[in-house]
Amino acid sequence: MPQFLHLFAAGAGLVLAGRRWYVRERSRIAAELRAAKEAMDRDQASPIVSLEADPLTGIYRPKRLH
């Protein structure tokens, strides 16, 4: 019977440690997603510049404002 109690205590400790790891990991991922969303919002806030093809090289460059 004491072996069962030791096994039960070890299992409970593993469950608690696993839950703590899960909560920390979930928090870390949420912070990364929040930072990525803020970065995307900042990028979308800047004006989008049209591109025009350079006739000599064929490379697209930002359109010049005249």
pLDDT tens digit at each of 66 positions of the chain: 789 899 999 999 999 999 999 999 999 999 999 999 998 888 777 777 889 998 899 899 888 765
Whole-model pTM? 0.57
pLDDT at 62: 87
Identify the bridge partners of residue 60 per DSSP, sorted by sequence position: 53
pLDDT at residue 65 in the model: 67
* 52 DSSP β-pair partners: 61
Domain ranges of the chain: 2-62
CA distances from 62 to 39, 45, 55 (A): 22, 18, 13
Q: If we measure between CA atoms, which residue out of 64, 40, 36 comes closest to residue 52?
A: 64
